[in-house]
Amino acid sequence: MSSAWEAVRALASGFATTFVHLFRKPVTEEYPELKRTLPARTRAVIVLTRDPDGGERCVACYLCSAVCPVSCISMQAAEKENGRRHAAWFRINFARCIYCGLCEEACPTSAIQLTPFFETCERDILKLVYEKEDLLVEHQGKDKEYNFYKYAGVTTDAGGKGEHVQEDEPVDLRSNLP
């Protein structure tokens, strides 16, 4: 008998809540005219940033495309004459992107960064496929001073072996033999 009484109380409580909200004034957000302030850590459209010296940060390591849960990132690696790797082409399908931020976390060069710009609505779904030219920006983003090739230990125009920041001179392995 007590379970039937609890069911009736629960049903009455639900109807009472509905009845109270029935007479409240509706809240309408007029979006295009009045925009809400977004939280500071809002994640939306992805951009590709540059080094402080103006070069592309992306080294086409494929980590972002590997970690992406919906496989919306694709690229092709290439190498320049000076030894720097870069993405010959880089493509993101924002129609599939869930803005999870895993690509930004996986990027070792801080090339991929998420911005708070979220207004990407399009009628044609193919307009949501962004190429490298659409994503590349002319600034360094959040990490202003970071330059991957000054720390990587890779021989490029930024320096040879042992000439990079916080890097020791290469060890001759034959000197370690008995």
pLDDT digits (tens, 9 = 90+) for 32-68: 888 888 888 888 889 999 888 888 889 899 999 999 9
What average pLDDT score do residues 129-155 get? 79
Count of CB atoms situated within 10 Å of the CB of 99:
15
User: Considering only CA atoms, which of 93, 90, 91 is closest in space to residue 77?
Assistant: 90
Report the pLDDT value the prediction gives residue 165, as an integer from 0 to 100. 67
Report the pLDDT value the prediction gives residue 74, as an integer from 0 to 100. 94
Cα 68 to Cα 55: distance, rounded to the nearest angstrom: 25
Enter the pTM of the model: 0.68
Whether 148 shows a pLDDT value over 80: the answer reads: no
% residues pLDDT > 90 (the chain): 40
Contact 69, 100 (CB under 8 A): yes
Contact 70, 96 (CB under 8 A): yes
User: Considering only CA atoms, which of 94, 96, 104 is closest in space to residue 45?
Assistant: 94
| Residue 20, CA distances (Å) to 10, 11, 23, 26, 151 in order | 15, 14, 6, 12, 63
Query: Which residues are paired to 86 by β-bridges?
Result: 78
Whether 153 shows a pLDDT value over 70: the answer reads: no
Contact 79, 154 (CB under 8 A): no
- The separation between CA 72 and the C-alpha centre of its own chain, rounded to angstroms, equals 12
Report the pLDDT value the prediction gives residue 176, as an integer from 0 to 100. 72
Confidence of residue 160 (pLDDT cuts 50, 70, 90): low
pLDDT averaged over every residue in the chain: 85
Report the pLDDT value the prediction gives residue 15, as an integer from 0 to 100. 93
